[in-house]
Structure 1
């Protein structure tokens, strides 16, 4: 009887199995999150540095503009009671003294037309700050004040000392002579101290309301020119408030409590036009106040003039896809390794992972000296070329490295498109990831996972 000998199949070590390799590659992906988070911290640090420099430039040029006025200020006499104690008898008597108080009245009609022009960017170090100049034209009228609503005796009103006041931020950046026309008579504005709010106060010369009024109304007209940055906002204090803004800014953000009229709004490549019409019934505050003005900042509206996505926001969004890039790249190498039976050492995976992380440091550093698009292109080409050349030395052929280069090019292009999109980023990203998953399932179906 012929002896038959059977050679037992050589058992593969666990550490050489696909399972062990997948575990090690997965752990390496998690480990690379550490340098990736350090890169994100670098981006945040550079972004904060830009904000500090922007704030410094804004302080010198002019900050955001908030406008609260014009307001008719009419003083009146009042009497205040106070207690007086006799030092000897300790008897307390009540005495009165005559004091001057102020009543404030908002306009019946307030019209504003503002033209905002983008100025040359101001550069401080590596950073450019976008600023603008604004020309604001105001007109409207005041009705004769109704002191009965404030329970003030009309006989105590000091009509001959009436003034008009304007509250506005950014006083130091006003670039025009300030004069107001009241029924065709001109009065100069003077700056006054104000400890009750963040607004600066401009107050006109005194005038006699009874002498100046015409048909119980005072018509006003004035112009103000500002250097500013970030935003222009108004408080709708007119019984009827009309605001129109024209600008060469291509990407405005209309903001505040009240929406612009949709039928008159226009935004295109040449700039934008926006209009607001607000009535007394649209806002819950009165037309007259005594002693002090209320804080009405919650009713501000206007336009914010900032770049929609700056370079650091784009870098931050790109870095959020870092783990996806590393994971998919490792997956491609793992599939190639499993199909071709070429062994790739975990150290080589580490070098490839670090090259992928270096993409983001290159991106942020080049972006600060160029545009984001150019920086993205240069950084992507540099990393793809490095990984392809390294893959040739690992895989000992050019077929698989070329496939890796094409895959990385498609992946970086896909991520760039997502970064540029805003409204459709989630939709495009989901479709892209679904297609990538389908491709991985297709190429992995022939792999023998039992080894």
Structure 2
């Protein structure tokens, strides 16, 4: 029987000389290196989550998303319910009339909105959010006030209880006194307790409205409001026209309706856009009774989009970590096979850990600098470290130069991919195909029979 020492010697020789053994070892080490790579991905997710929390805190203090609806004319009226009730005293049926209060909500015929949105960054520590202050000018006209479709008589309308209401999702962001001019009256606006998503602001009661009920009533008001993320309007006018101008360079036109053709202009200095929405474009009427419906689903406007931030780019880069580590170890394996130079598994682990360190360097540096600068510094540091280490392992300059060229090409290729949006998949697929072709071509003369 062979001694234990002979068996160990044969196994060690097999590990050193067998191509299959080397491939198995490198494959196993690649799987092991996925563990620290997953920790890096978790770190990126954690930092990204923290960024989102800080931005949310900043936005809540400054003012969140703004959705504006109004003005709406609130017109109370009475209806009557008549029924016969048996009187126990007189032993007869008596007719009793019950007065039931109701409310009609009348939307304007014309609604014109002009908004000037001035954005600026707000910083807390290393995090940044984009907020804005918007000057909004609203004008238009209400139709003749008649509720004939419900057979409501003019004498049943409580003209002295009529009011104007405006709804917004961000009442605390208002930075000016809100006053609505209706006809020849100026109406002061005050908040009204409301548990719905859109907070209600109601005017004082309108004086002399009955005298103007037979004609259209003009209105206008100006509003200055702080917000973040997006600015949207609900098209309650029979004809709603909105214009928006801003100094923000990266808008995303969002909501139910897009700007009209030819009105969008986006430059590095800002954007401008216009919308036109007509009653036939929506699925609701101009008058509602008793309760206002939820109409936020019809809102439209603009999101102030922050271009892909450092954490998103780092996350996308880390997704290619398996490919970078795998291809780099594969290059070392092919050099080992061709040159007959023995590379210890520990040395493979050191090389793999150096490649993983690229991602921690990338995310930590990008928090304090631009992504490009962070990418160049991290890639340069890891490239230099791996090249010098491979020089000590492989001797000479030919193979370390090959490794440096291969790794630099990989980092350059990945950077190009993450900068692309529409063509990322196409460029990535072509690049991977070329890498596979190069590997197949380079390995065609290797004698794979040495097992």
The verdict on a shared fold, with TM-score over 0.5 as the criterion, is yes
* 1:212–1:218 contact (8 Å) kept in structure 2: no
* 1:257–1:298 contact (8 Å) kept in structure 2: yes
Structure 2 match to 1:386: 385
Shift of 1:315: 0.9
Find the residue that maps to 1:176 and give its secondary structure: coil
Structure 2 match to 1:240: 239
Deviates more, 1:283-292 or 1:79-88: 79-88
Could you give the per-residue CA deviations for residues 168-218 of structure 1, whole angstroms, max 9, x where no partner exists? 0111111112111122432211111112x1111111221135456386111
Whole-Å separation in 1 of the counterparts to 2:419 and 2:115: 32
Whole-Å separation in 2 of the counterparts to 1:340 and 1:190: 83
Is residue 2:34 matched to residue 1:65?
no
User: Are residues 403 and 164 of structure 1, via their aligned partners in 2, closer, same or farther at CA, if it must alter by over 3 Å?
Assistant: same
Shift of 1:152: 2.6
User: Are residues 439 and 158 of structure 1, via their aligned partners in 2, closer, same or farther at CA, if it must alter by over 3 Å?
Assistant: same
Structure 2 match to 1:324: 323
Deviates more, 1:312-321 or 1:179-188: 179-188
Structure 2 match to 1:205: 204
Find the residue that maps to 2:361 and give its secondary structure: helix
Is residue 2:449 matched to residue 1:450?
yes
Is residue 2:416 matched to residue 1:417?
yes
Q: What pairs with 1:262-277 in structure 2 (closer than 5 Å)?
A: 262-277=261-276
Shift of 1:81: 7.7
Structure 1 match to 2:34: 33
User: Are residues 11 and 115 of structure 1, via their aligned partners in 2, closer, same or farther at CA, if it must alter by over 3 Å?
Assistant: closer
Runs of 5+ unmatched residues, structure 1: 1-9
Structure 2 match to 1:49: 50
User: Are residues 178 and 35 of structure 1, via their aligned partners in 2, closer, same or farther at CA, if it must alter by over 3 Å?
Assistant: same
Runs of 5+ unmatched residues, structure 2: 1-9
User: Are residues 426 and 161 of structure 1, via their aligned partners in 2, closer, same or farther at CA, if it must alter by over 3 Å?
Assistant: same
Structure 2 match to 1:149: 149
Q: What pairs with 1:330-349 in structure 2 (closer than 5 Å)?
A: 330-349=329-348
Is residue 2:206 matched to residue 1:170?
no
* 2:159–2:210 contact (8 Å) kept in structure 1: no
Deviates more, 1:153-162 or 1:172-181: 153-162
Shift of 1:83: 11
Structure 1 match to 2:281: 282
Whole-Å separation in 2 of the counterparts to 1:282 and 1:173: 30
Could you give the per-residue CA deviations for residues 141-190 of structure 1, whole angstroms, max 9, x where no partner exists? 00013312234333200123321110001111111121111224322111
Q: What pairs with 1:43-442 in structure 2 (closer than 5 Å)?
A: 43-79=44-80, 97-119=98-120, 121-195=121-195, 197-208=196-207, 210=209, 213=212, 216-442=215-441
Structure 1 match to 2:6: none
For these two proteins, the number of residue pairs brought into alignment is 438
Whole-Å separation in 2 of the counterparts to 1:241 and 1:100: 31
Whole-Å separation in 1 of the counterparts to 2:145 and 2:273: 32
Whole-Å separation in 2 of the counterparts to 1:382 and 1:81: 88
Shift of 1:27: 1.7
User: Are residues 77 and 329 of structure 1, via their aligned partners in 2, closer, same or farther at CA, if it must alter by over 3 Å?
Assistant: same
TM-score of the aligned structures, taking structure 2 as reference length: 0.92
* 2:71–2:108 contact (8 Å) kept in structure 1: yes
Could you give the per-residue CA deviations for residues 350-399 of structure 1, whole angstroms, max 9, x where no partner exists? 11111111111111111111121111111111111111111111111222
Whole-Å separation in 1 of the counterparts to 2:96 and 2:143: 37
Shift of 1:125: 2.5
The Cα RMSD (Å) is 2.5
Whole-Å separation in 1 of the counterparts to 2:391 and 2:113: 68
* 2:260–2:275 contact (8 Å) kept in structure 1: yes
Whole-Å separation in 2 of the counterparts to 1:21 and 1:298: 61
